[in-house]
Chains A and B, each alone.
Chain A
Amino acid sequence: MKTHWQILVVDDEEVMCESLAAWLREDGYTVDTASSGREGVEKARQRDYAIYFVDLKMPGGMDGIETMMQVRKLHPEASIIIITAYATVDTAITAMKEGAQEYIVKPCNPEEISLLVNRIIKVKNLQRENTILRKKLSRQYVVGDVISKNAKMGDILKLCHEIAGLRSTVLIEGESGTGKEMIARVIHHSGDRAAKPFVAVSCAALAETLLESELFGHEKGSFTGASERKQGKFEMADGGTIFLDEIGDISPKLQVDLLRVLQERSFYRVGGSEEVRVDARVVAATHVNLQQAVAEGKFREDLFYRLNVIEIRIPPLRDRREDIPLLAHHFLERLAHEMGKDITEISEGGLKVLMDYNWPGNVRELENAVERALVTSRGQVLTEEDFSFLAANGAARTWTAPAGMTLQDMEKLLIAATLERTNGNIKESASVLGIDRSTLYEKIKRYEIPR
């Protein structure tokens, strides 16, 4: 894992600078050089290096100690090694006092430098791993952790920030794998509930009775196996946020119970008679179109409106392809580190495969694809060959005409799908469909397509 780390060598003697740089490059590090303290500080301003080798005696008004102090102002955690030909106890003490990590006297034994560099890099690797693990453990996402340069995603993040302090329920719609839970966590962690619990429940995973006791808890003896009184997720989320994933899958009975919680802010435990009051913000998510479920009578209309106070629609990955390279590199960096693989790049051909793929499984599928490519890759760069399994998937998923469909059925479906994709924008839909606006209006009316 060396190529991640960059080293800066600062020395006014070119031969000294270049020979140390060349020696470190043979060890696999990326090495920059600077011929004066000023140039060194300038380079440090542009990027943080893992290790700085700084010569003590340099002309031009900025010696090694001064250079080190300037670098440390920019990067307080910088590892700086002072090099000198004149070993005196005094300068060594000054250098260490000002924060040099080490002090070497040139010429230096190669073994000594090698051990020194390895020791520092080992610590850097551990620090980095620690940061990643800590983040994973607490799963604390802030707005900055959502990776996107898509305008729609930008609007969503802005909205998340604006509504973070409110108590209104939020309904997040998006295909599976688009990051609905991540957005819910962003809302939770951006507001004043951040210090309180964030409790996630997948409504699809549990049977009706189980889900009921899971959400609202139960009293001792309320059903076979209920040997203890148990707190429900709503109670656990008191003061914080409860995230109800796959809300479209809950049964009619639970829909009623949920509606009551949303209206009254209170509920009864299963088998209990004591009213429990909670202050939990509800963020619900669905991958099915709830409005359609309402129209089909599968989902209560009153509950839908209670949930849909603030609506967030996450666009699928294929509609924000500009994010694919960003996300792919993000996953590459994290996964390569976790797997201990020294791969930092995706080739142009590899990126093209990723850009061309349709991503039915969205960001989660992209993450899995990068992981799979990393496992099987033998090179230092992920290439189109490493992603060839996507082509096989893509071919299997190409569209086939459903049996027994008329041209009119097709037209209706296509228009409805296009309208949904453009958020009901007539002008944009007409342009995508290649017809003019009046024709589109006419067809919407004829097919009775809801907008």
Chain B
Amino acid sequence: MNYLYVGATPEVERQAYGAVRDRVESEFGLAVREMELPAVDFAYDRERGQYGSIAMLEMLARICPPDAVKLLAVTERDLYIPVLTFVFGQAQLSGRIAVISLARLRQEFYGLAPNREVFLERASKEALHEMGHTFGLVHCGNRNCAMSLSTNVRQIDSKRCEFCAPCGARLRRGARE
């Protein structure tokens, strides 16, 4: 039996973790297993005050269980890759590993009043997006599709929490192979 693992680092808020877990389970139709992940202090960059997502992916690849089809990690830490100021998440394209960061998905991050609904919706969309990359999907030109590129939360909010028809078809094909 192969499972879709959804893991969380210790600091992750449990309600958000549960929402991501449920959305991923209903979308991909695979049995989901939860996984407690270690803290990611090793990926911390003092100068930037952020966590390197490449180091995180490398750690995840090492601890990924043998019966995992995919492993999606959820963290509260603000992630970056060297060339960019931040990333909402990162995945191995057509690989097994993905990570999403909740840090920039809350309204509070932008000095706005908290909004649970908006926050949880954003987390689910980013989870689908990074998982899509692990199934070989690249960014979609359809602004409503979960696979469209979001470089700010406005773009995340304007897309739907689902794949468009062509991406959905590609995903099912990718999942079969």
**Interface of A with B (CB < 8 Å)?**
2, 13, 15-16, 18-20, 22-23, 25-28, 83, 106-111, 113-114, 378, 380
Q: Please, which residue of chain A has its CB at the minimum distance from the CB of B87? A: A110
Expressed in whole angstroms, the minimum distance between the Cβ of B121 and any Cβ of chain A is: 21
Instruction: Give the chain A neighbours of B149 by CB distance below 8 A.
Output: 26-27, 114
User: Does B85 interact with chain A (Cβ within 8 Å)?
Assistant: yes
User: Does B133 interact with chain A (Cβ within 8 Å)?
Assistant: yes
Q: Please, which residue of chain A has its CB at the minimum distance from the CB of B91? A: A26
Q: Is the CB of A106 within 8 A of B93?
A: no
Q: Is the CB of B83 within 8 A of A109?
A: no
28 pairs, A vs B, C-beta closer than 8 Å: A2-B138, A13-B82, A15-B54, A18-B54, A19-B81, A20-B83, A22-B93, A23-B81, A23-B84, A25-B138, A26-B139, A26-B149, A27-B138, A28-B138, A28-B139, A83-B83, A106-B84, A107-B85, A108-B83, A108-B84, A108-B85, A110-B84, A110-B86, A110-B87, A111-B151, A113-B84, A378-B166, A378-B169
Among B83, B84, B90, residue most surrounded by chain A Cβ atoms (within 10 Å): B83
Q: Is the CB of A19 within 8 A of B86?
A: no
Contacts A20-B83, A107-B84, A108-B83 known; list 10 others, CB within 8 Å: A18-B54, A23-B81, A25-B93, A26-B93, A106-B84, A107-B85, A111-B152, A113-B83, A114-B151, A378-B169
Expressed in whole angstroms, the minimum distance between the Cβ of B59 and any Cβ of chain A is: 15
User: Does B80 interact with chain A (Cβ within 8 Å)?
Assistant: yes
Among B82, B90, B138, residue most surrounded by chain A Cβ atoms (within 10 Å): B82
Q: Please, which residue of chain A has its CB at the minimum distance from the CB of B165? A: A378
Expressed in whole angstroms, the minimum distance between the Cβ of A378 and any Cβ of chain B is: 7
Instruction: Give the chain B neighbours of A13 by CB distance below 8 A.
Output: 82
Q: Please, which residue of chain B has its CB at the minimum distance from the CB of A342? A: B141
Expressed in whole angstroms, the minimum distance between the Cβ of B136 and any Cβ of chain A is: 11
Expressed in whole angstroms, the minimum distance between the Cβ of A57 and any Cβ of chain B is: 14
Instruction: Give the chain A neighbours of B54 by CB distance below 8 A.
Output: 15, 18-19
Q: How far is the CA of A27 from the CA of B133 in the complex (A)?
A: 10
Q: How far is the CA of A306 from the CA of B65 in the complex (A)?
A: 82
Q: How far is the CA of A196 from the CA of B137 in the complex (A)?
A: 52
Instruction: Give the chain A neighbours of B138 by CB distance below 8 A.
Output: 2, 25-28
Instruction: Give the chain A neighbours of B83 by CB distance below 8 A.
Output: 16, 19-20, 23, 83, 106-108, 113
Q: How far is the CA of A28 from the CA of B138 in the complex (A)?
A: 5
Instruction: Give the chain A neighbours of B91 by CB distance below 8 A.
Output: 26
Instruction: Give the chain A neighbours of B86 by CB distance below 8 A.
Output: 110
Chain B interface, DSSP helix/strand/loop, else mixed: loop
Q: How far is the CA of A114 from the CA of B54 in the complex (A)?
A: 20
Q: Is the CB of B151 within 8 A of A106?
A: no
Instruction: Give the chain B neighbours of A378 by CB distance below 8 A.
Output: 166, 169
Q: Please, which residue of chain B has its CB at the minimum distance from the CB of A113? A: B84
Q: Mark B83-115, 1 if CB is under 8 A from A, else 0.
A: 111110011010000000000000000000000
Q: How far is the CA of A433 from the CA of B57 in the complex (A)?
A: 67
Instruction: Give the chain B neighbours of A23 by CB distance below 8 A.
Output: 81, 83-84, 87
Among B48, B84, B139, B151, residue most surrounded by chain A Cβ atoms (within 10 Å): B84
Expressed in whole angstroms, the minimum distance between the Cβ of A59 and any Cβ of chain B is: 17
Among A16, A25, A110, residue most surrounded by chain B Cβ atoms (within 10 Å): A110
Expressed in whole angstroms, the minimum distance between the Cβ of A206 and any Cβ of chain B is: 47
* B window 105-153: CB within 8 A of A: 133, 138-139, 149, 151-152
Instruction: Give the chain B neighbours of A109 by CB distance below 8 A.
Output: 84-85, 151
Q: Please, which residue of chain A has its CB at the minimum distance from the CB of B86? A: A110
Expressed in whole angstroms, the minimum distance between the Cβ of B32 and any Cβ of chain A is: 24
Instruction: Give the chain A neighbours of B87 by CB distance below 8 A.
Output: 23, 110
Instruction: Give the chain B neighbours of A25 by CB distance below 8 A.
Output: 93, 138
Instruction: Give the chain B neighbours of A20 by CB distance below 8 A.
Output: 81, 83
Q: How far is the CA of A23 from the CA of B89 in the complex (A)?
A: 11
Q: How far is the CA of A109 from the CA of B83 in the complex (A)?
A: 9
Instruction: Give the chain B neighbours of A110 by CB distance below 8 A.
Output: 84-87, 151
Instruction: Give the chain B neighbours of A108 by CB distance below 8 A.
Output: 83-85
Expressed in whole angstroms, the minimum distance between the Cβ of A7 and any Cβ of chain B is: 13
Instruction: Give the chain B neighbours of A19 by CB distance below 8 A.
Output: 54, 81-84
Q: How far is the CA of A11 from the CA of B93 in the complex (A)?
A: 21
Q: How far is the CA of A13 from the CA of B82 in the complex (A)?
A: 10
Expressed in whole angstroms, the minimum distance between the Cβ of A125 and any Cβ of chain B is: 13
Q: How far is the CA of A26 from the CA of B138 in the complex (A)?
A: 5
Q: How far is the CA of A335 from the CA of B91 in the complex (A)?
A: 34
Q: How far is the CA of A19 from the CA of B84 in the complex (A)?
A: 9
Q: Please, which residue of chain A has its CB at the minimum distance from the CB of B170? A: A380
Q: Please, which residue of chain A has its CB at the minimum distance from the CB of B169? A: A378
Expressed in whole angstroms, the minimum distance between the Cβ of B54 and any Cβ of chain A is: 6
